[in-house]
Chain A
Amino acid sequence: MKLHRLLTFAASAGLALALSQAATAADYPTKSIELICSMSAGGDSDFNAREIAKYLTQELGQSVVVTNITGGGSAVATDEFIHSPNDGYRLYMNHSSLHSATAFGISEYAWYDMEPIDIFGRGTGEVIVVASDFPATDVKGLIEEAKKNPGKYRFGYNAGATSHYLAVSLANEGAVFNNVSTGSAADRVVGLKGGHLDVIVAGIPNIIDYVKTGEFKILGNCASMRSPFYPDISTLIEQGYNISFDPTYVLYAVKGTDPAIIAKLDAAVKKIVSENKEYAAEIEKAFQQSPYYEDTAKTKETLKVQLDKFMAVKDQLRAGFSKK
């Protein structure tokens, strides 16, 4: 008798659970959603995550809360996210650091282990910066100088990050730098200003004031197209080098999430990015960014292209810089 009761209870509990799952797809979301950001609080990625979370809260009617998980070049965040339940209540945002972590080997996952929803924004981009008295005015000159004086110029990079990718790419063009590991963007700016480094990569907002005071100068923009707010800075591609990385902000769901939920989220994000004037004004004011959107299908293509670029130099990334 007892076993019979137990089985009946189990069966009805299972049915209730299954029904609740079916219910969630239609009236998603019914409770608050967590958005994981792989960058620390205060930066431009975190800001964009919070912006989209704020407006998604309005669109979806449930609060979207941002959590920061930092470490391992975003590998720690990816790890935590991948194993989450695929009910759509946990989302993830990342940019190109996801690919560099994959190519470098820090993370065993890649973008295709998750479900991309869309691209909802675009960072201001990183530029190559040197002190104003550096004997070159563009990337060609930089590479020439590095060829003529191998190992003399100290290039600040962060292992496994986009700056590492750039260092490897420049090395492929024949430049020979003394590559010094230097940590975060702020450390690199200090290093350049203090004379401990000669060439760095940094975000435009971090160094634009130094350019205005005449201490630094910018040699080129690492994004694939020019920034609308800084149209005079030419890109590396325009200068003739096939090197670029775009700080596009991608929104992910866990693999296996109901496509209906993904479509709902995608539609909400699209509405915000294309129509919300308040959102546009806020991101412009903070980081000189303009709204940018790519839908699910296009996002997957873009991600594939981005990852392939990093994977192309995968062996060099993992080999380190050889002794000279």
Chain B
Amino acid sequence: MVVINRYKDIIACIALLLLSAAVYYNTGFIRVFEPNSASYINGQFFPYLLSGALCLAALIQLFNSIRELHRSPADKDSVISRGALIRIVATLVILAIYTALLSTFGFLIMSMLYVFVQVIVLSPKGRLNLPVAAVLAVVSSGAIYFLFTQVLTMVLPRPPFMPF
């Protein structure tokens, strides 16, 4: 199965327009002091300018994209296979879980789990090797953890129950 997204450029432009609106809106909350001299070049000036420029540029790009849509056919790059999509989503999920649980379980444990699962996700179908993945996960995470915390005396996330 194959997923083609010819409209992604248009969607991107619309997202940018929404972003510029969000920036504009949020700029209103910036607390402004009465500065010494120029009264309008304050903390809000630049963000307003950026949101305006971004809006303008996004509109121009939107116009260009619509024109391109009619002109050229979909290229190979806009094709994403189902397998790739699953891998991408899986990667994002495990990265998010890794970050979220880092403080609860600490760097050592989470890194081992992460490397193991990520290797599985990235391995091509014929080359999945679970023992190698497990060994790599344990050795690399352990080595990095000990190198940085014991030798270089850096602090990495450590759960309360960890003895070192």
Task: Assess whether A320 is in contact with B153, with CB atoms less than 8 Å apart.
Answer: no
**Docked complex: B119-164 residues within 8 A CB-CB of A:** 153-155, 160, 162-164
B37 contact set on A, CB distance < 8 A = 323
Pick from A30, A32, A151, A321: contact of B35, CB under 8 Å:
A321
Q: A144 at interface (Cβ–Cβ under 8 A)?
A: no
Any B CB within 8 A of the CB of A59: no
Check B34 for interface membership: any CB of A closer than 8 A.
yes
Most buried by B among A32, A34, A179, A324: A32
Asked if B36 contacts A65 (CB within 8 A), the reply is no
Any A CB within 8 A of the CB of B29: no
Q: How many B residues are at the interface, by size bracket?
A: 10 to 19
How far is B131's CA from A6's CA once the two chains are assembled, in angstroms? 33
Min C-beta distance of A53 to chain B, whole Å: 10
Which chain B residue has the least Cβ–Cβ distance from A20?
Answer: B161
* In the bound complex, CA of A83 to CA of B73 (Å): 55
User: Which chain B positions have C-beta within 8 A of A85?
Assistant: 160
Q: Which residues of B contact A321 (CB under 8 A)?
A: 33-36
Cα A159 to Cα B164 in complex, Å, equals 40
A323 and B164 contact, Cβ closer than 8 Å, known pairs A63-B153, A65-B153, A67-B155 = no
Q: Which of B155, B162, B163 is the most central at the interface, judged by chain A CB atoms within 10 Å of its CB?
A: B155
Secondary structure class of chain A's binding surface, majority of residues: loop
B102 to chain A, nearest CB (A): 14
Write the A22-65 contact mask toward B (1 if CB under 8 angstroms, else 0).
Answer: 00000000111010000000000000000000000000000101
Q: Decide: B33 and A319 in contact? CB cutoff 8 A.
A: yes
Residues B36 and A324 in contact, CB atoms below 8 Å apart: yes
Fill in one digit per residue for B28-64: 1 if any A CB lies within 8 Å of its CB, else 0: 0000011111010000000000000000000000000
Residue of B nearest to A53 (CB): B153
A322 located at the interface, meaning its Cβ lies under 8 Å from any Cβ of chain B in the complex: yes
Which residue of the partner chain B has the closest CB to A64?
B153
Contact of A295 with B by CB under 8 A: no
What distance in Å separates the Cβ of B66 from its nearest Cβ neighbour in chain A?
43
**Binary contact track A177-198/B, C-beta < 8 Å → 1, others 0:** 0111000000000000000000
Q: Which residue of B lies closest to A320 (CB)?
A: B33
CB distance from B21 to the nearest CB of A (A): 28
CB–CB A323/B160 < 8 A: no
A34-B35 in contact (CB<8A): no
How many A residues touch B, CB cutoff 8 Å?
19
Q: Are A320 and B34 in contact (CB under 8 A)?
A: yes
Residue contact A87 to B36, C-beta cutoff 8 Å: no
Whether A31 lies near B35 (C-beta < 8 A) is no
Is there contact, CB below 8 Å, between B153 and A323?
no
Bound complex: CA of A67 vs CA of B155, how far in Å? 7
Note all chain B residues with C-beta closer than 8 A to A324.
36
Q: How far is the CB of A149 from chain B (nearest CB, A)?
A: 15
Q: A157 → chain B, closest Cβ, in Å?
A: 11
Known: A85-B160, A87-B160, A323-B39. A34 touches B155 (CB 8 A): yes
Residues of A within 8 A of B153 (CB): 63, 65
- Given the known inter-chain contacts A85-B160, A87-B160, please indicate yes or no for A323 contacting B155, CB distance below 8 A: no
CB of B156, distance to nearest CB on chain A (Å) = 10
Which B residues are CB-close (under 8 A) to A34?
Answer: 155
Which of chain B's residues have a CB closer than 8 A to the CB of A322?
34
Cα distance, A13 to B62, chains bound together (Å): 60
Are A178's CB and B36's CB within 8 A? yes
- Chain B residues with CB under 8 Å of A179's CB are 36
Q: Could you tell me the distance in whole angstroms from the C-beta of B154 to the nearest C-beta in chain A? A: 8
Q: How far is the CB of A276 from chain B (nearest CB, A)?
A: 21
Q: Which residues of B contact A320 (CB under 8 A)?
A: 33-35
Within 247-290 of A, Cβ neighbours of B (below 8 Å) are at none
A42 to B: closest C-beta gap in Å: 16
14 extra A-B contacts, CB within 8 A, seeds A30-B163, A63-B153 = A31-B163, A32-B164, A34-B155, A87-B160, A319-B33, A319-B34, A320-B35, A321-B34, A321-B36, A322-B34, A323-B35, A323-B36, A323-B39, A324-B36
- Can you identify 14 A-B contacts, CB atoms within 8 angstroms? A31-B163, A31-B164, A65-B154, A67-B154, A319-B34, A320-B33, A321-B33, A321-B34, A321-B35, A321-B36, A323-B35, A323-B36, A323-B37, A324-B36
